[in-house]
Amino acid sequence: MRVQSWAISDVGRQRVANEDCHYVDTELGLLLVLDGMGGHRAGEVASKLAMETISAFYTAHAVNSRLGPEMFDDYDHRFTYHTNLLRQAVFIANRVVVEKSMSEEGLVGMGSTLTGLAVHEFTASLINVGDSRTYLIRNGTIEQISKDHTLAEDQVERGMMSREEARDSQLKHILSSVIGVDSRIRVHMDELVLSPGDMFLLCSDGLTAVMNDEETLTFIMSGPPGPGVLGRLIEEVNERGGPDNTTLVLTVLGNDREPTDETSESE
């Protein structure tokens, strides 16, 4: 499966520093967006440290699927090796960030959200913590395929709040799982069979705070995928106040041959 990706990150109109970060490796098929939180630039430290830890661990082990389940905290046999590997990378990053936050007084309480995607052959491994999101754009439609870890979403799952109530609730701004804040962490993972032409948009909540899914789709479909589309999205976010940092990674998948047992091409 061939991978093409473009990324952009903007501080917005109301922040003085950008605590978001992103990672794009089209050859390996690994894409990450992280949104840090914490005072005195601690969020910037948390997101960068988590990004470096996840990318390094996944890169080191992605090509060796013969490694056994014993290297994992909790291997889920419903999913592929690569999906379990991505989740294990998040577990390790959580421990690293927690330990770092405890080592310096100015970093106490720092954390980061994450949304990530790893393409291997004709499968996408999906991972997220917090409220940074991944969207699938297929056949002219958009679908959120990440899961928000917020108190509002938790109440929807328990039947205590409707989806409509959650959209207007202040609880949607309170995260229920974050990298680096607690030794225990909830990580959402999933897998998706890919089709040529699929597009994925990974974003921090600077986008979703001011634009709904259909508005985002309209911008994505307004021209050929690339930096121009992402630039117009950032401009619109800032026209609407730019209340937060905004980071976007847009990925387009395609292939020019039938699936084989060989390693898929990337670019």
Query: What would the pLDDT profile of 140-194 be if each residue is shown by its tens digit?
Result: 999 999 999 999 888 888 888 887 777 778 888 899 999 999 999 999 999 999 9
Distances (CA, A) of 258 to 156, 195, 253, 266: 42, 12, 14, 15
pLDDT category of residue 207 using cuts at 50, 70 and 90: very high
Percentage of the chain beyond pLDDT 90 is: 76
Q: And the tokens for 190?
A: 């999933």
- Backbone CA torsion sign across 176, 194, 226, 140: negative
Predicted local distance difference test score (pLDDT) of residue 194:
96
Beta-carbon count within 10 A of 196 CB = 12
What is the value of pTM for the model shown?
Answer: 0.91
The residue to which tokens 């994450």 are assigned: 114
- The answer to whether 265 touches 27, Cβ cutoff 8 Å, is no
The residue to which tokens 């990298």 are assigned: 179
Distances (CA, A) of 53 to 23, 75, 149, 202, 224: 11, 19, 21, 19, 33
**224-247 pLDDT, tens digit each:** 999 999 999 999 999 999 999 999
Alpha helix (H) residue ranges in the chain? 42-61, 81-103, 151-157, 163-168, 205-208, 213-220, 227-239
pLDDT mean over 54-75: 83
pLDDT category of residue 264 using cuts at 50, 70 and 90: very low
